[in-house]
Structure 1
């Protein structure tokens, strides 16, 4: 059996997106969060008694490759060296080899793949052999299908591919070592350790092809726990477990108020959600709250101001807590009351529109001019299921409010998005 840790997208020392004017203690906590995740990754590697550690690209970040980040990484790798744990890594699009930044020398236990696909062997003390395959980015963009160039070499019990890249989607081009599942399955490797996508996922239920996600969420677009994959290869089977590393997680929740809204009722609702989100392991939480108000004649600006003032006041108690839940304002929306099921059954125009929105191809067809454009497909990905569902719900709400009798007066007060809600996720 071979046991190893698969990590990717550490983005050491990269600042969080969508945050400003944090109190000093939280600012320091944020600044150190990627390093905390690095330390947890090393601790997990040691506690799991892993044979080796794989890092599938973007250890450092193109926006902030500090000497501090390199020094902290080297210190972490030396800790693994003292335990005789080798590390196999590739550099990705954010820390590519051609960039003129000052590289500090890595310890001898760290094996870096060159800019051309190659194999590096590993042998366990009991004689089991592993062949690891990978390549590092020479420049920020790699348009070639590099996975197709990996060549399996005989003489090993296990074969592991390391690839920082993006799965091809339809006829779209991609500039991050694009590959297809067929490219990977044809190699007949025991495991593919992927990087580049900041979301944990297995590309096919039948295949050992995994993105572990990033080790620390960097914006509100990266909600939920973040971490590494703890992998065991035993014969032809791959057993993969999630092991958390994030010191701070991002969450997003909605608050719904029916009828008249008061400061008391809103404070109680916010407090309940805050305590539900509070972690027992001293992990901090940035919680983005969306507020929906239905059946009220209150003014939008006054409600938005009340919402923000309550969040600011409630945050005062969180500054010095290890298990803080810091509240951020998201979308504030006044909603017209309507029954979606009845509209979907309606034979009239609005029913036709709702049925079109709910169809499987609605969003893909709407986005196709962007996704098929040579510039659009470079920067945009098709939305995942959660994002698509939210887009559909918001579209239906806008239509219902616009077309229902008496709703026109509220159209100008439909939701506004805070800076925290507009943060971008960059893979």
Structure 2
């Protein structure tokens, strides 16, 4: 017996601030979740799996129209035609009280109740699936405690949307610990909510499959579902199957000692090539981090438009479909940068930054400007709150821009 365990599809998740940066690629990236789900359906039919389990967050939130629901129903209908049952629950993003619109699901699909734990028995397969949907977004109770006892003589699966014992970057919902789950006596736990694949236990198997498609740079690497094989009433294999179509990667390039942008380009090109080689022919979205002390610091931090264009050019030359999502400059000026005609200017800028009254005045004005930027966009660029470290980085970048323009003889604006 083989079944698919998927979770966190987040169909039609909004791009938020990503749309401004993605430009003409925005729709392609926004549609990646749908194409990943199509890949799951194709796999299930081609491999003739016995059934599918989806552990919550099919949708990212309430539909703006019915297109999201119709797309999902179309995929489920293909599984119905292939005689593949589907059991699913709702999570915190698509909880029962969050969704104002509803569509009837095909007869092969069973959505488990949000009022109490419910059990579905697949008689032909001798399988019992136990689970409960979220009635609302903020479920803080340990739902697993009320799941029913295992059905004797059947292969028992628990489906649960949970933060388990807590994971960084994820809100705490339906918390539980491994002991709670093991004591139920189920043969497999199909978990959802955590977007990184993780096997918490192998006796029994307790698994987070991760989300189906990475949505941003904080969800890097291969994404997909778990293919579970059981024989003789026990799990014999749990395999990851990648179905993502856009893969995210953070790539760090050491540019220490580089004197010019031309010196840096070969290093960036090589790093992009290595990332492409690991992307399994997916569209690759890269965030580049340039690090190290180098004389080219003023060029990198002072002319971000040219730097972005050069990196985009290198991406176009790579042997793969690559999009540079952002270039983060974390270089430092080499000691030589303080010498020569710029020394006085460097000292002046240093005094402005270190003088408390000047620094406070600049910070107040900066925060007023940031208040005019939409919250989603501020989150995307990492300026939700202006920490001391972030403020220091903003000032350093501003100094680099000033010095670069002075050195290049550019007009002041």
In the TM superposition, what whole-angstrom CA distance separates every residue of 1:12-66 from its partner, at most 9, and x where no partner exists? 0112355233566512211211110110111121222210000000001126554
Cα displacement (A) at 1:207: 3.8
1:26-425 equivalence runs, <5 A: 26-62=25-61, 64=63, 66-115=65-114, 116-124=116-124, 128-169=125-166, 175-235=172-232, 236-278=234-276, 281-294=280-293, 296-300=294-298, 302-306=299-303, 308-315=305-312, 323-335=320-332, 413=396
Any conservation in 1 of the 2:5–2:54 contact (CA below 8 Å)? yes
SS of aligned partner of 2:237: strand
Distance in 2 between the 1:25 and 1:281 partners?
Answer: 23
Cα displacement (A) at 1:237: 3.2
- Equivalenced residue count is 339
Distance in 1 between the 2:76 and 2:320 partners?
Answer: 28
Q: 1:95 to 1:264 in 2, by over 3 A?
A: same
Distance in 2 between the 1:411 and 1:31 partners?
Answer: 30
Any conservation in 2 of the 1:14–1:63 contact (CA below 8 Å)? no
| Paired position in structure 1 for 2:376 | none
Any conservation in 1 of the 2:226–2:239 contact (CA below 8 Å)? yes
| Paired position in structure 1 for 2:348 | none
SS of aligned partner of 1:217: coil
CA RMSD of aligned residues (A): 3.1
Any conservation in 1 of the 2:273–2:319 contact (CA below 8 Å)? no
| Paired position in structure 1 for 2:406 | none
| Paired position in structure 2 for 1:367 | none
SS of aligned partner of 1:162: strand
Any conservation in 2 of the 1:25–1:319 contact (CA below 8 Å)? no
- Using the size of structure 1 for normalisation, the TM-score is 0.72
Choose 1 or 2 for highest CA Rg: 2
In the TM superposition, what whole-angstrom CA distance separates every residue of 1:395-414 from its partner, at most 9, and x where no partner exists? xxx9xxxxxxxxx9x99638
Cα displacement (A) at 1:323: 4.2
- Larger helix share, 1 or 2: 2
Q: Which moved more, 1:249-258 or 1:311-320?
A: 311-320
Q: Which has the higher contact order (CA 8 A, sep 6+)?
A: 1
Q: 1:169 to 1:32 in 2, by over 3 A?
A: closer
SS of aligned partner of 1:218: coil
| Paired position in structure 2 for 1:19 | 18
Any conservation in 2 of the 1:334–1:415 contact (CA below 8 Å)? no
Q: Which runs of 5+ in 2 are unaligned?
A: 335-388, 400-413
Distance in 2 between the 1:63 and 1:268 partners?
Answer: 46
Distance in 1 between the 2:159 and 2:71 partners?
Answer: 23
Any conservation in 2 of the 1:194–1:210 contact (CA below 8 Å)? yes
Any conservation in 1 of the 2:287–2:328 contact (CA below 8 Å)? no
Cα displacement (A) at 1:150: 0.8
SS of aligned partner of 1:214: coil
Distance in 2 between the 1:411 and 1:98 partners?
Answer: 42
Distance in 2 between the 1:411 and 1:312 partners?
Answer: 21
Any conservation in 1 of the 2:296–2:333 contact (CA below 8 Å)? no
Distance in 1 between the 2:327 and 2:62 partners?
Answer: 26
Q: 1:14 to 1:323 in 2, by over 3 A?
A: farther
SS of aligned partner of 2:5: strand
Q: 1:20 to 1:135 in 2, by over 3 A?
A: same
Cα displacement (A) at 1:335: 4.6
